[in-house]
């Protein structure tokens, strides 16, 4: 799918998806009704209504298989790991704590200001390891703990930094992903098969056919809209934001309100 489609406001995206689905449904209805004459009409009526539930179930399974949402959980895991580092850094008061806090603040600022726009455009330049994490790991490993508590904190900080870096890698990998054309094609074919079956089963009652196809068409359009709106999790109006990361080390209230210290 093109970038312009994923960057459409959700209202315009919905209008486009529902319009195209309505046109496709209407085209199927017209073709089936035009063919439903004479011997073909009797053949259409022999199509069992029991065929419709399996087709609907298959379509639902296709939707469930296609629509995935891992981006939020990965960002939350990254933010949780960074928050753990900030909390445990207090076990090393003074310069070590200040350095670790600065590293985490720089990491978050770089992620929100640099990486997020790159991920929105699926720019692979975002995949390099941030220098801040390497420096923070080096600082942590060079600490000389003087108590059992500090040794435990040092170990947990190292683990949390590694977890944050792993979550970042997963976040960037997910930003490259999208629903490929094969999945879109299979989903569309399954929807078309269900609509054709509905039209054939109700070919002797045009009003019932229009109502049934219209209701199923609305469901198809809603499913396609849901998948399309979340196809690229870091692109578009409903994209995943770096809010969870920014909440790890929020700016002081005075800075938020523009109050001079």
Domain segments of the chain: what residues? 3-66+179-211+221-229, 71-177+241-249
Instruction: For residues 158-178, give the mean pLDDT.
Output: 89
pTM greater than 0.85 (yes/no): no
Q: What is the pLDDT of residues 21-72, one digit of tens each?
A: 999 999 999 999 988 888 888 888 777 777 677 777 777 776 766 655 688 8
**What stretch of H or E contains 138?**
helix 131-141
What is the phi/psi pair of residue 209, to 5°? Answer: -65, -45
Count the neighbouring beta carbons within 10 Å of the beta carbon of residue 6.
21
- For residue 26, give the 3-state DSSP assignment: helix
């Amino acid at each position: 799918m093109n970038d312009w489609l994923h960057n459409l406001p959700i209202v315009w995206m919905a209008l486009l998806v529902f319009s195209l689905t309505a046109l496709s449904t209407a085209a199927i209805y017209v073709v089936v009704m035009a063919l439903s004459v004479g011997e073909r009409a009797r053949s259409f009526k022999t199509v069992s209504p029991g065929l419709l539930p399996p087709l609907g179930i298959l379509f639902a399974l296709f939707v469930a298989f296609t629509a995935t949402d891992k981006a939020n959980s990965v960002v939350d895991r990254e933010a949780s790991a960074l928050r753990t580092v900030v909390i445990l850094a207090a076990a090393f008061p003074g310069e070590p704590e200040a350095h670790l806090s600065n590293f985490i603040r720089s990491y978050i600022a770089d992620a929100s200001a640099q990486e997020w726009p790159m991920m929105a455009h699926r720019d692979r330049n975002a995949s390099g390891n941030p220098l801040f994490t390497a420096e923070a790991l080096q600082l942590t490993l060079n600490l000389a703990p003087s108590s059992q508590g500090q040794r435990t904190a040092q170990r947990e900080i190292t683990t949390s930094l590694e977890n944050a870096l792993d979550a970042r890698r997963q976040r960037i990998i997910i930003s490259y992903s999208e629903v490929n054309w094969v999945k879109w094609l299979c989903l569309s074919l399954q929807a078309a098969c269900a609509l054709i079956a509905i039209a054939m089963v109700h070919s002797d009652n045009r009003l019932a056919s229009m109502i049934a196809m219209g209701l199923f068409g609305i469901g198809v359009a809603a499913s396609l809209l849901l998948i399309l709106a979340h196809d690229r999790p870091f692109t578009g109006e409903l994209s995943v934001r770096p809010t969870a990361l920014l909440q790890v080390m929020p700016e002081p209230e005075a800075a938020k309100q523009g109050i001079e210290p």
